């Protein structure tokens, strides 16, 4: 019998890669997506159910139709800067839509839940390498809303027996090495795709957000993890739950931080082209350093990142960038 997994946000960047990994592992990913920021063209590995997460009746219908064995919940607003300008949007959308989904999953008896959280729940920790035990202290509404969802999951475990694997990760980059899916946001706000746009003249320049941070070259330091490695961890997290190992939290990162200037230098090396840049001011809500250790995921889940070195991530992103984009 087919083992369906309900993937919210399956038409988005990380969700579409997760669908591919699930299909490869023998599951049938059922994408639940409003297509507001996702792409119909990105749904290639299983059926699409169009719908809004706040629509409980629609969710009930989809759970009844597919009887999924688990939920992978990616769909969310995820822009730090936007969350600082419009916190109400983030609290309302991310928290309420997740709550509706969690209630629908519990009502349907679908009690294995893999959740896409973020190192933004940690806030600015002054250069500390983050791990699962680090105290969460978000400094933006995006991180706050994700932390709230983590808390909701714990409450529903106590009340309904919902089991969750929570992944906290930060800067996902790269694209499927086979080129079937990749990163494409509109509007684009992320460093790597914006930089590639600047390299091939689609934008005049990349703006570096702040050069006066207390870091080695003054720019923010982030931990970049390849999207294909990241979604492999999600499949392992699902198998962990199915094996009855219980709820847990895992950080996912490469354990190495790179400054914005280092990412720019690596892109120059990979593409063999100049990166036009302008120096801009800090972006509100940005922490100076966010680096996430992954010792626990490697040790306990058996996660083995294969493509999370900066050169491979940028090369994969560049190949995708040059090969065309989705149409709705
Ligand atoms: N960044 C930048 N210019 C841009 C976009 C991003 O300097 O046009 C910086 C940003 O301040 C952060 C890093 O690049 O330090 C990664 O930002 P991104 O938006 O890709 O991911 P986030 O860290 O917000 O998840």
* pLDDT number for residue 178: 96
Could you tell me if residue 92 is inside a domain? Answer: yes
Does the residue 185 lie in any domain? no
Name the token pair of 181.
């899916």
**Ligand 1 atom nearest to 206, measured from its CA:** 8
* Of the residues 236, 252, 268, the one at which a domain ends: 252
Are 11 and 150 in the same domain? yes
Same structural domain, 135 and 168: yes
| Distance in Å, CA 191 to ligand 1 centroid | 5
Note down the domain range covering 96. 4-173+224-252
Q: Are residues 205 and 246 in the same domain?
A: no
What's the confidence (pLDDT) of residue 127?
A: 75
Query: Does the beta carbon of 194 sit less than 6 angstroms from any atom of ligand 1?
Result: yes
240 vs 98, 138, 185, 202, 236, CA distance in Å? 22, 28, 31, 43, 6
Contacts of 65 (CB under 8 A, 6+ apart): 49
77-110 pLDDT, tens digit per residue, is 999 999 999 999 999 999 999 999 999 999 999 9
- Active-site hit among 122, 142, 169, 224: 142
Pinpoint the alpha helices (H) of 33-177: 56-66, 80-85, 87-90, 97-108, 141-160
Q: Please report whether residue 204 resides in a domain.
A: yes
| 231 and 282 co-located in one domain | no
Same domain assignment for residues 97 and 234: yes
Confidence at residue 56, expressed as pLDDT on a 0 to 100 scale:
98
> Are both 238 and 302 inside the same structural domain?
no
Ligand 1 centroid to Cα of residue 236, in Å, is: 28
| Ligand 1 atom 18, closest CA | 190
Q: What is the DSSP letter of 62?
A: H
Averaged pLDDT score across all residues of the chain: 96
Residue 80 lies in a domain: yes
| Residue to probe by mutation, ligand 1, list 191, 204, 266, most atoms within 8 Å of CB | 191
Taking CA atoms only, the protein residue closest to ligand 1 atom 3 is: 208
CATH of the domain at 272: 3.90.25.10
Q: Last residue of a domain, which of 252, 272, 297? A: 252
Q: Are 237 and 114 in contact (CB under 8 A)?
A: yes
The answer as to whether 134 is a domain residue is: yes
295 in ligand 1 pocket by Cβ < 6 Å?
Answer: no
Indicate if 142 belongs to the active site.
yes
Which domain CATH number covers 77?
Answer: 3.40.50.720
Q: Is 191 in the pocket of ligand 1 (CB under 6 A)?
A: yes
* Same-domain pairing of 41 and 131: yes
User: Is the same domain home to 212 and 104?
Assistant: no
Taking residues 240-246, report their average pLDDT: 98
* Per-residue pLDDT at 307: 96
Query: Does the residue 318 lie in any domain?
Result: yes
> Is the CB–ligand 1 distance for residue 80 below 6 Å?
yes
Atom of ligand 1 nearest to the CA of 220: 15
Give me the mean pLDDT over the 306-320 stretch.
97
Q: Is 222 in the pocket of ligand 1 (CB under 6 A)?
A: yes
Indicate if ligand 1 lies below 6 Å from the C-beta of 119: no
Own/partner contacts of 309-313, CB < 8 Å, gap of 24 or more, are: 309/254, 310/224, 310/258, 310/262, 310/263, 310/266, 311/266, 311/269, 311/270, 312/174, 312/226, 313/173, 313/174, 313/192, 313/224, 313/226
Residue 130 CA to ligand 1 center (angstroms) comes to 19
My answer on whether 79 and 130 are in the same domain is yes
ipTM of the complex: 0.97
User: Which helix or strand (DSSP H or E) is residue 15 part of?
Assistant: helix 13-24
Pair 15, 49 in one domain: yes
What region, left, alpha or beta, does residue 6 occupy, with left being phi > 0 and alpha being psi -120 to 50 degrees?
beta
Domain match, 200 and 248 both: no
24 with 73, same domain? yes
Which residue is listed with tokens 């769909």? Answer: 75
Domain contains 181 = no
Q: Residue 327 has what pLDDT?
A: 81
286 within ligand 1 shell (Cβ under 6 A): yes
pTM above 0.90, yes or no: yes
Q: Whose CA is nearest to atom 6 of ligand 1?
A: 191
Q: How much is the pLDDT for 124? A: 87
- For residue 190 and ligand 1, the question of a CB distance below 6 A is answered with yes
Alpha carbon of 78 to ligand 1 centroid (Å)? 12
State whether the beta carbon of 83 lies less than 6 angstroms from ligand 1.
no
As for how many domains the chain has, the answer is 2
Q: For a substitution probing ligand 1, which of 118, 208, 222, 284 has the most ligand atoms within 8 Å of its CB? A: 222
21-45 confidence digits (pLDDT tens) = 999 999 999 999 999 999 999 999 9
Q: Residue 35 domain-assigned?
A: yes
Q: What is the pLDDT of residue 309?
A: 95
């Amino acid at each position: 019998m087919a083992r369906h997994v309900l993937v919210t946000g399956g038409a988005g960047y990380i969700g579409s890669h997760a669908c591919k990994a699930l299909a490869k592992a023998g599951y049938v990913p059922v994408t639940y997506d409003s297509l507001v920021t996702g792409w119909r063209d990105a749904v290639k590995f299983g059926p699409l159910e169009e719908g809004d997460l706040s629509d409980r009746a629609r969710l009930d219908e989809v759970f009844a139709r597919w009887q999924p064995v688990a939920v992978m919940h990616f769909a969310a607003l995820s822009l730090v800067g936007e969350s600082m300008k419009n916190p109400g949007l983030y609290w309302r959308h991310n928290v309420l839509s997740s709550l509706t989904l969690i209630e629908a999953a519990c009502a349907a008896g679908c009690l294995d839940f893999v959740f896409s959280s973020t190192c933004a729940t940690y806030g600015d920790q002054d250069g500390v390498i983050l791990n699962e035990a680090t105290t969460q202290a978000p400094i933006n509404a995006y991180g706050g809303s994700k932390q709230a969802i983590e808390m909701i999951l714990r409450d529903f475990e106590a009340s309904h027996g919902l089991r969750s694997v929570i992944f906290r990760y930060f800067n996902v980059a790269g694209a499927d090495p086979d080129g079937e899916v990749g990163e494409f946001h509109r509007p684009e706000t992320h460093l790597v795709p914006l930089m590639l746009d600047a390299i091939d003249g689609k934008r005049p320049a990349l703006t570096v957000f702040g050069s006066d941070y207390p870091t080695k070259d003054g720019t923010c330091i982030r931990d970049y993890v390849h999207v294909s490695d990241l979604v492999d961890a999600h499949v392992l997290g699902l198998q962990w739950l199915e094996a009855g190992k219980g709820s847990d939290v895992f950080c996912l990162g490469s354990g190495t931080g790179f400054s914005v200037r280092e990412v720019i230098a690596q892109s120059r090396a990979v593409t063999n082209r100049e990166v036009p840049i302008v120096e801009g001011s800090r972006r509100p809500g940005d922490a100076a350093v966010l680096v996430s250790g992954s010792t626990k995921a490697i040790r306990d889940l058996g996660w083995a990142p294969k493509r999370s070195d900066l050169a491979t991530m940028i090369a994969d992103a560049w190949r995708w960038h040059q090969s065309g984009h989705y149409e709705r």
